[in-house]
Structures are given as structure tokens and as C-alpha cells.
Amino acid sequence: MLDTLDTMTSHQTTQTMKPATAAKKLGVYLQATPAEFQEGVVTRSELNALQADPPEWLQELRRTGPHPRPVVAAKLGVSIAGLARGGVTEPLTTEQIDALKDEMPSWLRQERATQAEVRKEAVRIKEKQAEDAQKRAARADEDARS
């Protein structure tokens, strides 16, 4: 029985992912990556190596873009839906993002305000849940004593 278990664990397969998944995990726009990255598969160890010691192409993409929507949204301080409401549907470069920040169109001001309200509400809910949990724990403690 033990021999069987030993042989079962020695046949592990290497975990791979599609280039789109790897690009998403790296925070880069897939179509801007080198062709060999787009056409191959990426192993977990290759992804870890790219994250630990990014090659020049990855550093440049992260620095200048074009950036995928989640990165654009984060850099602008808005949600992905907010980007769409503002008419931003394409990847943007860092230069374009900086220009938008400088220009600060009304949609961006509005979406940033909305995002700030969402964050504030999330904090309020989290604090309320913590307070409720404390009250429940105190009641349970009192019930255990009586």
C-alpha cells in the first residue's frame, strides 16, 4: 500500500496556463506581449520567475503600457464599470492615463467620487460587522457564565 502511494505522488504534472491567464496575473495587456509569450503556454514556475525577475519587455510594459482595463481603472482610481461609463473601452498607455489625470474630465471626477463613496461604505460595513461580532461574542460569553 505504501509503495502505491509513493508512486502516485511522483507522477505530478506541471501546472500550465493559457497566455491570457498569465498576462492577467502579470497585470499586462496580452496583445502587447511578445509573440512567443502569446503563442505558448506558461507554467507556474515560469510565471513565478517572470514575477520575481521580470525581463525587460515585461518591465517596459508595466512602466509604459498599454495597460489592461483593471490596471487603467486602478491607476485612475475608478472601477472598470466607471471606465466604461466614461467611454474608455480600449487599453491605455501610462502617458494617456497621466493626460487624463491632468485633464480631469467631469466623468473622471464623478467616478472617483463614486469610488470614494463605495470604499467609505465598505469600511462602514466592515466596522459594523466587527461591532456586531463583538456584541455576539459578549452575549455568548454572558450566556456561558449563567
Provide the residue-wise pLDDT of the chain in tens; the chain has 146 residues: 555 555 555 555 678 899 999 999 999 999 999 999 999 899 999 999 999 999 999 999 999 999 999 999 999 999 999 999 999 999 999 999 999 999 999 999 999 999 999 999 999 999 999 999 998 988 888 888 87
Q: What are the start-end ranges of the E strands in the chain?
A: 16-17, 42-43
Q: pLDDT at position 21, please?
A: 94
Q: Output the pTM of the full model.
A: 0.72
3-state helix, strand, coil in the chain (%, to 5): 75, 5, 25
Torsion-angle region of residue 119: left (phi > 0), alpha (psi -120 to 50) or beta? alpha
82, 111 contact by CB (below 8 A): yes
DSSP symbols for 79-121: -HHHHHHTT--S-B-HHHHHHHHHH--HHHHHHHHHHHHHHHH
Burial class (CB within 10 angstroms; exposed 0-12, middle 13-18, buried 19+) of 122: exposed
The cell numbers describing 44, all together, are: 507556474
For residue 29, count other CB atoms closer than 10 A to its CB.
Answer: 21
> By C-alpha distance, which of 82, 135, 136 is closest to 112?
82
